[in-house]
Chain A
Amino acid sequence: MIPELGHFALILALLLALVQGVLPIVGAQRGNATLMAVARPAAHGQFVFVLLAFAALAYAFLTNDFSVENVARNSYSKLPEVYRFTATWGSHEGSLLLWTLILGVWTVAVTVYSRHLPEDMAARVIGVMGLVSVGFLAFMLFTSNPFLRLTPAVPEGNDMNPLLQDPGMVIHPPMLYMGYVGFSVAFAFAVAALLSGKLDAAWARWSRPWTTVAWMFLTLGIALGSWWAYYELGWGGWWFWDPTENASFMPWLAGTALIHSLAVTEKRGVFKTWTVLLAITAFSLSLLGTFLVRSGVLSSVHAFATDPGRGVFILAFLGVVIGGSLLLYAWRAPRLVSGGGFTWFSREALLLGNNVFLMAAMGTVLLGTLYPLFMDAMGLGKISVGPPYFNAVFIPLMTPVLFLVAIGPLVRWRGDDLPALAMRMRWAFAVALVTAALLPLTLDGMNLWASLGLFLALWILFGVLTGFLERLKNAPGGLLGKLATLPRSFWGMQIAHAGLAVVVIGATVVSNYEEHRDVRMNVGDYVDLAGYRFLFMGTHPVEGPNYSAMRGTVEVFRNARKVATVHPEKRRYHASGMVMTEAGIDYGVFRDVYVSLGEPLSDSEWVVQVYYKPFVGWLWGGAFLLALGGGLAASDRRYRIALRRNTEAMATAAQGTRA
């Protein structure tokens, strides 16, 4: 009964989404306040029904209702409760429901925080988000219904994919979707602006916090995914250029460009058409990512059901949303006039440079991801594009971006003096260059890639430091008082840029200096690696809730002193028969030691993989700083003041009309 209620709730949600998508937009075009007023209640109603549907599905999973096909395929009675809950979105159908639910969360947030917007703007934004929701709800109901019954019911489920039975996977998909779907707000604002023809600094100020928050979630989602791959896939890699990863990385690159471009549009009123195009692009790439992952067009480590019928539906939806918005863009963009001039050496110009390189990098990732598809479609054979391509094209494009990150914030709007800036930064440049050149020599000789990465990271950090020093020089009061006067948007930007430097350090050091050995080990054998000694103490069987495992014990010594004991596992999941490797990791600030079990050779002898991974934790630490910076910037009091001022103005206006 509950699944049927969930199904019915989805149908009602679809109808409400249609109302939310059509009436307010028509109302806004005709200036009809009654129609526009439908937007908020319809959005709230739609959200309530999507939430009910989600709760119904979660209930089916938690109660092991194997008469529901989705549950039977993706859950198992002995699965721990928390995974039974996350299995709700572990399947294709469930993840679409999560997508729609999160779209509802964003829409409700917009209805709450848009009181200060002109009514027609708010109606259009909410309406566009309603139309996006229509697409997803229809997709679910017509091709991917999560509530289909299985007759006869099966006594036991197929189990959740063991790869996903992991704490990281509990929060990774919701974070990622918060990011993907969050870009729908910027998209809706852009389409609303194109529809109304009003695109000004206020528009950019409204869009900015939404975009930054979405970007923050996406950053966290990608970082969690990378961390999960690192400890769960058992070979210690942290980025694979897998199509699914690229699908999340492309909107991130476009979103990063969008954040910077919005800043220019807000402060200076330029790049308007470009900003609108970026807002459309960022969300289009989120949808494209969903399409690539869900349609099975590309093969990936993430195996999902493939079904051309579904693919055609999403593609048609993509055509309507992306094609429609780009058509609107082509039609309306010429009306947007940009104001304000700037010289080639100004903050505007540097941010434009940042945008060009970021979008070029995004383009190369897109090309690399779809190239196998292009070749196959033209009958030129099956090929795969891997890390060699991506590293070869991506690093050269990101190098100038990273170089500009350091100086962009130091350069004034409109125009600045290059020689003067060069004088200000000459010591930072020299110190970064010399340190980066010499540091690798102290390790294992010259290493140009390591030097390049270290130079860029140090250069960014010095740029951040210079930014603080110059701001503080002119502020009154003591050091702490001075720091407290700096606005959150400034803190946010600086922390995010420092975070980027931290990511670069992590990526550079771990790529150039990690060490790895595969060895055959019996009880009592040891292997030395990077100054660590790994002593294999043997394995013993362990029973998990839904798996049996062989758990190894490896003691790690440094200078004859024990520093850690790690327990890598080889698990065999009962229902699916899949074998999973759980790495044993000792985390540290400057290094991880990472041990995973390969194949058993006899009762006591195993192939053991040991890794020394210097600075690998900096990748995720830096990503966290990036996200933290985004959060701080989005909570800048400027946005809150603007909100209060508008509310007050509206209140005064209301009183005026009454008096």
Chain B
Amino acid sequence: MKRFIPLLVFIVLAVFLYLGLYLNPREVPSPFIGRPAPDFTLPVLGQPGQTFSPADAKGRVWLLNVWAPWCVSCRQEHPVLMQLAASGVAIYGLNWKDKDGEAQALLARQGSPYVLTVDDRDGRVGIDYGVTGTPETFIIDKAGIIRMKHVGPITPEIWQKKFVPLLKELET
């Protein structure tokens, strides 16, 4: 029996490693979840003179998608967002640390999935939201409370698994 011990140890280890794959070590419960979305007022991209604040979106469930034109993962996410927008999801963009102002041209070229995009050029609002990188997406409910945060690009699978159930619950 002794000779099976190494194999058994490995099997136990493998089971834990498998479970570990579906846990996210980086997803430390965000202190923002369950709290009101931090307030800000930023200029709307491509609409000079217009500003947007989270209060303006109160009464609907919306997504705040933090992105940047220099971010390759955001490009990977872009077609997914386009589809979601076409199916009626309200996505607001936060154009993060775009020092060269390339975002508008990019959206004009590839199409915009956003209701509107605000310009966080110096990245301060991003800091208020605890953004560590792009893309990050927040779900904000009708009362203006952050209900979830997703780090990294949204894929169709992640959308189905992580977003859809919560959005259904929030809409009713």
Contact = CB atoms under 8 A, between A and B. Distances in A.
Interface in B105-152: 152
A372 B25 contact: yes
A520 interface: no
A323 B14 contact: yes
B21 A311 contact: yes
A319 interface: yes
Nearest to A72: B72
Contact of A308 (B7, B14, B21, B28): B21
A472 interface: no
Given A295-B21, A326-B7, A319 B72 contact: no
A299 B25 contact: yes
Contacts of A312: 18, 21
Contact of B21 (A281, A315, A323, A326): A315
Interface stretch (A179-187, A233-241, A374-382): A374-382
A296 interface: yes
Nearest to B21: A311
A376 B10 contact: no
Interface in A327-371: 327, 329-330, 333-334, 370
B4 A330 contact: yes
Contacts of A69: 72
A297 interface: yes
B72 A73 contact: yes
Interface string A81-95: 000000000000000
Contacts of B13: 370
B170 interface: no
A433 interface: no
Contact of B6 (A329, A372, A374): A329
Contacts of A322: 10
B72 A318 contact: no
Contacts of B70: 156, 158, 575
A504 interface: no
B10 A377 contact: no
Interface string B5-40: 011001101101111111111101100000000000
A323 B11 contact: yes
A497 B3 CA distance: 33
A234 to B, nearest CB: 19
Contacts of B18: 312, 315
Nearest to A331: B3
Contacts of B3: 273, 329-330, 333-334
B20 A376 contact: yes
A298 B23 CA distance: 9
B6 A326 contact: yes
A311 B19 CA distance: 11
Contacts of A296: 25-26
Nearest to B13: A370
A39 interface: no
A154 B21 contact: no
Contacts of A72: 72
Contacts of A334: 3
A262 interface: no
A246 to B, nearest CB: 14
Nearest to A280: B6
B150 to A, nearest CB: 13
B98 to A, nearest CB: 11
Given A319-B14, A370-B16, A575-B70, A327 B7 contact: yes
A145 interface: no
A286 interface: no
A577 interface: yes
A373 B17 contact: yes
A154 B106 CA distance: 11
Contacts of B20: 297-298, 373, 376-377
Nearest to B4: A330
A377 B19 contact: yes
Interface in A264-287: 273, 277, 280-281, 284
Contacts of B11: 323
B72 A291 contact: no
Identify which of A150, A308, A333, A575 gathers the most chain B CB atoms within 10 Å of its CB: A308
A291 B17 contact: yes
A298 B4 contact: no
A154 B21 CA distance: 32
Contact of B25 (A280, A298, A327, A374): A298
Nearest to A311: B21
A329 B5 CA distance: 11
Nearest to A156: B70
A274 B42 CA distance: 67
B132 to A, nearest CB: 10
Contact of A299 (B4, B26, B75): B26
Interface in A574-624: 575, 577
B65 to A, nearest CB: 19
Nearest to A73: B72
B159 to A, nearest CB: 15
A323 B22 contact: no
Contacts of B26: 296, 299, 306
A323 B10 contact: yes
A383 to B, nearest CB: 11
A257 to B, nearest CB: 14
Nearest to B17: A315
A323 B16 contact: no
Nearest to B14: A319
Contacts of A284: 10
Identify which of A69, A312, A330 gathers the most chain B CB atoms within 10 Å of its CB: A330
Nearest to A374: B16
Contacts of A329: 3, 6-7
Contacts of A158: 70-72
Contacts of B16: 370, 373-374, 377
Nearest to A281: B6
Nearest to B109: A152
A244 to B, nearest CB: 13
A376 B20 CA distance: 8
A329 B18 CA distance: 23
A377 B25 CA distance: 11
A330 B2 CA distance: 8
Contacts of A73: 72
Contacts of B7: 323, 326-327, 329-330
Nearest to A575: B70
Nearest to A324: B7
B5 to A, nearest CB: 9
A280 B22 CA distance: 28
Interface in B56-96: 70-72, 75
A249 B71 CA distance: 35
B72 A308 contact: no
9 contacts: A150-B75, A154-B72, A158-B72, A296-B26, A315-B21, A323-B7, A370-B16, A373-B20, A374-B16
Which 9 A-B residue pairs are closest in the complex by CB-CB distance?
A: A299-B25, A377-B19, A311-B21, A326-B7, A297-B20, A330-B3, A373-B20, A330-B4, A308-B21
